[in-house]
Structure formats: C-alpha cells, structure tokens
Amino acid sequence: MTEATDLAERAGDRDPRIGLRAVSALRRLLEQLEAVQVRSARNQGWSWQEIAAELGVSRQAVHKKYGRQ
Amino acid sequence: MFERFTKDARAVVIGAIEHAERAGEERVDEPHVLLALLDREGSRAAFALAALGLTGQREAVVRDLAEARRRGGLSRADTDALAGLGVDVAEIVSRIEEAHGEGVLAAGRQGGARRSGRRPFTRGAKDLLTMSLRTALAHDDRHIGDEHLLLALTARPGVPAEVLADHGVTHESIERVLWGKGETKAG
C-alpha cells in the first residue's frame, strides 16, 4: 500500500506526459498480472468468492471479468 | 465505413482477424494489423514497406512484436516510463514467467474459449480504423487503402509504431515514399 502511494507521489512530480504514461502502463501491467493470478487461482481450484475476497472486489465483478466459459 | 475500404485494406482487416485467431487471442489488436500489413503483396502499403527496406526484415519485425507481447504488450516508451518510477518490467516479467510459465503475460488477454464467432476489436484497433479514414481524408483520397492503415499505425503511440520506427518505417518516411512529402527536409 505504501509502495503504491510512493509510486503515485513520484509519478506526480515528473513531466506530466511521462507520469501519465507511467500510470497508464502500470494500469495495463496490472491488468495482465491480475489475469495471470486469477487464472492460476482458478486452476488451483479457488472459488470466485475466494478470489474476489483477496482482490478486494465483489464476486460478481471478478466473475463478470474472467468467468467466461 | 468499410464500404470505403479498398480490396487491399479489407484484406488487411481480415488478415488481422486471422492473425488473432491463429495466436489464440480473444481480441484483434493493432499488432495483428501490422502482421497483416506485412503479409500484403502488390499493394500500396507493400510498396512503401519495400521502398523503406522492410521486405527482408519481416522476421525481425515479427520477433520484436512477439517480444513486446511477452512484456504484456508494453512498448519501450511504457517500460522506460515505468523504469522512471523504479518499476523494472523485465524483472517482473522474469519472475512471473518463473512462477507461471514462459510467455504467461502474453496470454493475459487470451480467452481460449472463443473458437468461433466474431472476434471483437480492441479499442486501439477500432481507433486505428477510424484514424485510417481521417488519414485518407487528409490526403484527399476517396477510399481507404492499406497505406492509410499503415500510416495511421505509425501515427499512434504504441508497440507497432515503435517496432516499425526501429526498422526505419516512420510516419515521415512513409509520407515521403508514397506522397513525396518532406523531401527537402530529408535531402
């Protein structure tokens, strides 16, 4: 958490173009990492509820995003 | 909009869908459009790419695109920006691959289940098609050819434009070989 705050602060004191690009890239990287981890959890038999709890979002949100059969 | 596409431009769009299908990817993205452009022969885009010496470098371009995919589709400008924050993308990729297998970030957006039916285009790919229309209008061309798709691709920030630029294909160089613009600047 403090790490993310730290990143956000440092992103703020740069050239806005670089800072914004970094934020956008970080968001895309985050999406990719989330997909990898959710897939891994599902392969290990985790329920959507368990995954959602770890991610701090609703079960419906995770299922809607990754629950395609 | 598609009724304004030339036969070559349509072939590129169809080719991009096929590249996405072959790679097992759920969505058609801008790199697929570049791969489809590289497949063309005898078109305006093919002429421009050949004139800029890309013909023999096809494999290298394909390799560069695959490398970017392995980084989760992040461009070099993206990874540089993240390095500015102390985020080492190469390190993250290597750790994730160690734990989850090689190329796992490239599979991030794979659906796997979508075997048939229409593959949606990413927002970036849709924007690219829209931009090709604007590019054609800017050149007073009635139809959207594959050269407009190529030009639009180089005008958008991202992996395809970076990879093309690494091989000498930029917005300016294409304008020069196809429309003779910027010759004084180049010479």
pLDDT tens per residue, range B12-67? 999 999 999 998 888 999 999 999 999 999 999 999 999 999 988 999 999 999 99
How many domains does one find in chain A? 1
Which of chain A's residues have a Cβ under 8 Å away from the Cβ of B77?
21
At B184, is the pLDDT very low, low, confident or very high (cuts 50, 70, 90)? Answer: low
Mean pLDDT computed over every residue of chain B? 89
pLDDT at B185 (0 to 100): 45
As a whole-number percent, the residues of chain B with pLDDT over 90 amount to 70
pLDDT at B84 (0 to 100): 87
Which of chain B's residues have a Cβ under 8 Å away from the Cβ of A32?
72-73, 105, 108-109
Complex ipTM > 0.85:
no
Q: Are A32 and B100 an interchain contact pair (Cβ–Cβ within 8 Å)?
A: no
Other CB atoms within 10 Å distance of the CB of residue B155 = 16
Residue type for position B27: R
pLDDT > 80? residue B107? no
Q: Which of B72, B84, B100 sits opposite A29 (nearest CB)?
A: B72
Mutate to test the interface with B, among A24, A36, A64 (most CBs of B within 10 A): A36
- Is residue B147 within 8 A of residue B45, CB to CB? The reply is yes
Mutate to test the interface with A, among B69, B82, B97, B122 (most CBs of A within 10 A): B82
At A13, is the pLDDT very low, low, confident or very high (cuts 50, 70, 90)? Answer: low
Q: How far apart are the first and last CA of chain A?
A: 33
The three-state DSSP-derived secondary structure of A12-41 is: HCCCHHHHHHHHHHHHHHHHHHHHHHHHHH
pLDDT at A20 (0 to 100): 87
pLDDT > 80? residue B114? no
